[in-house]
Structure 1
Amino acid sequence: MSATQFKHIVALGSSFASGPDIEPIIDKAANRSANNYAHLLAEKLGAELTDVTVSGATTDTIIDTPQRLLNKTYPPQLDSLPADADLVTITAGGNDLEYAGSMIKLGSAGRLSTDPHTHPLATQLARGGVPQPTSDDIDRAATNLVRIVDAVRDRAPNAQVLLVGYLAVMGPDTCYSHEVPLDDATVGAFRHLGDQVDEVFARAATTSGADLIPMNEYSLDHALGSSEPWVRGLPKQLREIYRLMPFHPNDAGMRAVASTIYDHLQTN
């Protein structure tokens, strides 16, 4: 099917799909933007969109576990999958491995550690360091992604399924700064964690046969510290974290993901 033939897109996933704090926000509890990559892609294709992405989602909350945020409960995302969907995008698994959440926690710790008054809090936040998923953790996340793909095919048999990977946050140009208050070892550990999230997607694509859009690979030169980052670092003031979610895609990043998917659909 050519890109111009898609009529109904469905977006499943977590915050790297929902677009937290990218205006305009159309669902505050889900922190879902009208300018996330699914909306931009639907506009390019002239297609209807069903966007059920929710910040903080895991593979479980997509499959069969309700997700509660700000006194609002979201049913499992697959429950909202219409049978007439002909293109389904999936960006999930990062929260299964504590990817972005741990960056926010350790980045905040790095910023707070520079002030003697907040140093004890920084020590608490930094406890445990960068997550180190086991092979079982990676297997479970990959298996759940395959379960999502299988469920999509059961419920929407005519849908093309795309596994859309996470944008790179830490790249070759990332180093200590006010925006990324992490030492080289921690930056390297987060790059490795990003590679493990990538591995989840690669395994799921191989097993399920779904198309893979490896955004981590495509965006390494647009990670933090680059001349044109596609993600945000820590804001100038930590109190702005709830208005500008750090270590997540920015507007340019969402446009890049939408364009990459569109180009993939044109050539495959």
Structure 2
Amino acid sequence: MRRTLATFAAVAAAATLPLAPPAAAEPAAEPAAYSSYVALGDSFTSTGPMFPERVQLPCARSAGNYPSLVAHRLEPSEFTDVSCGGATTEHMAEPQWGIVNQPQFDALRPGTDLVTVGIGGNDIPFAEVVLTCGSMGLVAPAGSPCKDFYVSAGTDELAAKVRAVGPKVGAVLRGIRDRAPDAEVLLVGYPSLLPDSGANCWPLVPIARGDAPYLRDITKLLNRMLAERAAAEGAVFVDTYTSSIGHDMCEPPGEKWVEGILPTSPAVPVHPNGLGSRNQARQILATLGRS
């Protein structure tokens, strides 16, 4: 520690002494090691490259999805992935499709020390929006039929649905904390589906010109809501949108990380492909200090 010298004489005397070696830098903290990792979520968690990867049906759970990639990097003693296509926030605590998929919360234990969860899109529900906007865009490519459908008299019904999911996501995060009180909890956001510029690529993706910026903003609203809920509940939000800009459905094969309605790689339509899964995993690992 540097000391203040009282007199010029003392400074001069000190100058005649040999230089001391620089203090050693504090060693960087080692990234946390995890003994039990549980992945929860919907199809944006469960899917990824579908072939030649092993896939668990009916949840469309790919062995190449981001939870599997994260687990491969972290090497926890236990890894459990119960994410499932079509899951809503309700399916965290309730079975999905009868007895086909048990409540995802059942995978949590008091000793679980890492949880990733990606949920909320199906509560809007996302599939309905894709079907509605895609079918309308086919017949009115130059207009904004989807926005006109959801926005009426100054009220944006779709934006209201997104905001209504917030309390449900908050309840999910509290449910995780109740069952795994010592876990580090990461809430994973959704990637860029359409160009961040607001452009469209009709007919490759049948979203009308005026609807592309509207749907982009809805995706951003969803991610903003998720980030706010994570902060409020003591979880960490993982942004996968920013890093995926320029890799949306409108990009050519090899550049796009999300497949379009007609996939060009073995992946689920309008979901992350292998490149997208790798980016999701990269963002999670970077958040955990493992990049």
Larger radius of gyration: 2
Cα distance in 1 for partners of 2:186, 2:86 equals 20
- Which position in structure 1 is the counterpart of 2:175? 151
- Which position in structure 2 is the counterpart of 1:43? 72
Give CA-to-partner distance per residue, 1:55-88, whole Å, 9 cap, x none.
01111111x33211xx853222112223321110
Give CA-to-partner distance per residue, 1:11-64, whole Å, 9 cap, x none.
1110100016623243211111111000000001112311010101111111x3
Compared CA separation, residues 220 and 176, structure 1 to 2 (3 A): same
Cα distance in 1 for partners of 2:119, 2:88 equals 6
Cα distance in 1 for partners of 2:183, 2:30 equals 13
Q: Which shifted more, 225-234 or 50-59? A: 225-234
List aligned pairs for 1:168-207, cutoff 5 A. 168-172=192-196, 174-207=199-232
- Which position in structure 2 is the counterpart of 1:122? none
Deviation, 1:176, is 2.3
- Which position in structure 2 is the counterpart of 1:160? 184
**Letter paired with 1:147:** A
Give CA-to-partner distance per residue, 1:78-104, whole Å, 9 cap, x none.
122233211100100011122254224
Compared CA separation, residues 96 and 143, structure 1 to 2 (3 A): same
Q: Is the 8 A contact 2:48 2:66 kept in 1?
A: no
Q: Is the 8 A contact 1:163 1:210 kept in 2?
A: yes
Cα distance in 1 for partners of 2:80, 2:32 equals 18
Compared CA separation, residues 27 and 207, structure 1 to 2 (3 A): same
Q: Is the 8 A contact 2:48 2:274 kept in 1?
A: no
List aligned pairs for 1:55-70, cutoff 5 A. 55-62=85-92, 64-68=93-97
- Which position in structure 2 is the counterpart of 1:102? 129
Compared CA separation, residues 200 and 221, structure 1 to 2 (3 A): same
Q: Is the 8 A contact 1:168 1:222 kept in 2?
A: yes
- Which position in structure 2 is the counterpart of 1:31? 60
Q: Any stretches of 5+ residues in structure 1 without a counterpart? A: 115-124
Deviation, 1:155, is 1.1
- Which position in structure 2 is the counterpart of 1:77? 104
Deviation, 1:4, is 5.4
**Letter paired with 1:257:** Q
Cα distance in 1 for partners of 2:107, 2:119 equals 16
- Which position in structure 2 is the counterpart of 1:52? 82
Cα RMSD of the aligned pairs, angstroms, is: 3.0
- Which position in structure 1 is the counterpart of 2:36? 8
How many residue pairs are counted as aligned between the two chains?
Answer: 249
Q: Is the 8 A contact 1:100 1:247 kept in 2?
A: no
Cα distance in 2 for partners of 1:42, 1:3 equals 14
The answer to which structure has the higher helix fraction is: 1
- State TM-score, norm by structure 2: 0.75
**Secondary structure at 2:37's aligned position in 1?**
strand
Deviation, 1:196, is 2.2
**Letter paired with 1:19:** T
Cα distance in 2 for partners of 1:163, 1:99 equals 18
Compared CA separation, residues 39 and 73, structure 1 to 2 (3 A): same
